[in-house]
Amino acid sequence: MEALDAKGIDVLRVAYPDLMGSDRSRDILLHHLPHAAGHGLAFSRAVYHTGALGDHSDIAGGLDAGMPDILARPDLDTVIPLPWEPNVAWCIGDVIDPATGQSVPESPRDLLRRVLARLNREGLTAIVGPELEYVLLEPDTDAPTAWRRYAPEPGNVYTTGRKSDPDGHLLRTVRALHALGLDVSGGNREFDGGQFEINLNHSEALNAADRAFRFKAAVKELARAEGRLATFMAKPFNDGGGSGFHLHVSVVDGDGTNVFDAPNEAHGLSAMARHALAGVLAHAPALSALLNPTVNSYKRFGPDTTAPWLINWGLDNRNAMVRIPPERGAASRLEVRLGDATANPYLAIAGLLAAVHLGITAAAEPPAPATGHAADTNTAAKLPADLGQALDALQADDQLTDALGKSFVDAFLTFKRDELARFHKYVTDWEFREYAQIN
């Protein structure tokens, strides 16, 4: 409290991720911090079961139990001043069940901790580098969605400056994220109109997930301050591309040595790297539910897109689901290109690392790498084609379900199947255009 007071901080914002990866939070005055740190801040557990528009799913421990409390205690190691909110600091809350004193199954941050503990018991530490894309939108009352792309001119992929960013959005955002301490390395305009990518440096997995969670919340907040909307939707427009969430993954031992590197083995990859890769490929259908968690996610896939649609891997091949970048030594890693930007960073990284651990434990071997367009359906199976198939794959993957915990998986499946059911009942504009004038 003294350190924060010395910086002029009088409000602490305590935020934690829900199942969607959205930030749920409360602002407290600094004098209330001892109570928050000791007792915790009370929220309804049903918040975990609440969708983007307020719909509730009937998940055990929520509505059926009378919407009991959960407690969010500020993780004081994560306190950082908010550069754009004077006198406010921001921290991540750890959520517990006051009845048991333990974490709740729906807590994404604790799920990742449990997965990491499995690797840690074998003397291994996961290193993750997140890459996230988003599309910046401006209000437009004449547009069907009331939003249009910011700076929509085509052909500006991998550019910076006023040509592709006339209002300097990217520069402001990168500087603000740097001031926030998120360890960003830089950014650029991406392929689609109004689309940007900002890269986060690699770090230990929990820290990487924390920074990705904060990155998404911060980018959206900064866009709101501009009167704009930053959307991490997988595919926001029919005539545009999608936004990905690529994860660069490596594993180090107790000495900090990258155990994926093996200069004298095929492709410079160790047996552990091959096993980890095989685990990701084996569990890819189930992972789709976590890394592509919305109905919209699956409209980003297909052979005519740059998003993966087959379960394969390749050497420095961006058409493959898993790319092995050309660097070796300490930079040896897998780039898993399956995810889209709607994924909850904690759940995406937890699922991915659970699959890595399963592959290492099983000493599994991957198939031969894909080449060229990486589109041979004779040698690689297709990923799930929609959210329903992905949820079925997750439910059927007993190994991954055991690694993630049955209570979490049951809650996640119920939550997402409710979302899918709402979609199937909803009449879309495509249906009206297609069928309204049929005789």
374 backbone φψ class: left, alpha, beta (φ>0; ψ -120 to 50): left
Mean pLDDT of 122-150: 96
Q: What is the pLDDT of residue 305?
A: 80
Asked if the model's pLDDT at residue 155 lies above 90, the reply is no
Q: What is the pLDDT of residue 61?
A: 83
Domains present along the chain, CATH in parentheses:
1-102 (3.10.20.70), 113-404 (3.30.590.10)
Please report the DSSP string for 138-194 in residue order: EE-TTSTTSEEESS--SS-TTB-STTT-TT-HHHHHHHHHHHTT--EEEEEE-SSTT
What is the overall mean pLDDT for the chain? 95
Least confident of 232-236, 291-295, 304-308, 403-407: 304-308
Mean pLDDT of 274-296: 98
Q: Beta-strand (E) ranges in 1-55?
A: 11-17, 23-29, 41-44
% of the chain at pLDDT higher than 90: 91
Q: What is the pLDDT of residue 54?
A: 86
Q: Rounded to an integer, what distance in angstroms lies between the CA atom of residue 241 and that of residue 234?
A: 9
Percentages (nearest 5) of helix, strand, coil residues in the chain? 35, 25, 40
pLDDT band at 418 (very low <50, low <70, confident <90, very high): very high
Asked if the model's pLDDT at residue 401 lies above 80, the reply is yes
Asked if the model's pLDDT at residue 124 lies above 90, the reply is yes
Question: What confidence tens digit (pLDDT) does each residue in 295-323 have?
Answer: 999 999 878 788 899 999 999 999 999 99
pLDDT band at 326 (very low <50, low <70, confident <90, very high): very high
Asked if the model's pLDDT at residue 154 lies above 90, the reply is no
pLDDT band at 60 (very low <50, low <70, confident <90, very high): confident
Q: What is the pLDDT of residue 231?
A: 97
pLDDT band at 63 (very low <50, low <70, confident <90, very high): confident
Task: For Cα atoms 131, 244, 211, give the angle at the middle one, nearest 5 degrees.
Answer: 35
Instruction: Write down the residue that tokens 């930053």 correspond to.
Output: 230
Mean pLDDT of 152-174: 93
Q: What is the pLDDT of residue 55?
A: 87
Q: What is the pLDDT of residue 65?
A: 78
Asked if the model's pLDDT at residue 68 lies above 90, the reply is no
Contacting residues for 307 by C-beta, under 8 A, at least 6 apart: 242, 244, 300, 301, 337, 340
Q: Beta-strand (E) ranges in 288-384?
A: 313-315, 322-324, 334-336
Please report the DSSP string for 40-97 in residue order: -EEEEGGGGGB-TTS-B---TTSGGGTS-EEEEEE-GGG-EE-TTSTTEEEEEEEEEB
Q: What is the pLDDT of residue 277?
A: 98
Q: What is the pLDDT of residue 56?
A: 87
Q: Measured between alpha carbons, how far is residue 361 from residues 35, 104, 316 in Å?
A: 43, 27, 26
CB 380 within 8 A of CB 282: no
Question: What confidence tens digit (pLDDT) does each residue in 191-229 have?
Answer: 888 999 999 999 999 999 999 999 999 999 999 999 999
CB 32 within 8 A of CB 39: no
Asked if the model's pLDDT at residue 346 lies above 80, the reply is yes
CB atoms within 10 A of CB 339: 29
Asked if the model's pLDDT at residue 439 lies above 80, the reply is no
Task: For Cα atoms 21, 63, 400, give the angle at the middle one, nearest 5 degrees.
Answer: 45
